[in-house]
Amino acid sequence: MVPETVKVRLVPEGEEREVEVGEKGVKVRDLVKMLGLNPEAVVVLRGGAPLVDTDIVKPGERVDVVRVLSGGCMSLG
């Protein structure tokens, strides 16, 4: 029996992983947790379109997990 997997590309690292999700797939928030990432610090894209936490990623699909970076202001004085 072939495992049911999703292909994940981590951005900006460029690392690719295959994650076993079962035949029904997995919610985006659970996929992010499976990757060991903070759900509030990433955006998951499928075909370039953002997904919400409750969307299902199905076996055979490919998604990008983009780390969101934020920063403060620099004082130029």
3-state secondary structure of 5: strand
pLDDT score for 71: 66
Q: Which token pair is 10?
A: 């981590």
Task: Name the architecture of domain 8-67.
Answer: Roll (3.10)
Sign of CA dihedral 64, 51, 18, 38: positive
Q: 73 pLDDT exceeds 60? A: yes
Domain boundaries of the chain, sorted by first residue = 8-67
pLDDT in tens, 8-66: 999 998 999 999 999 999 999 999 999 999 988 999 999 999 999 999 999 999 999 99
Model-wide pTM > 0.75: yes
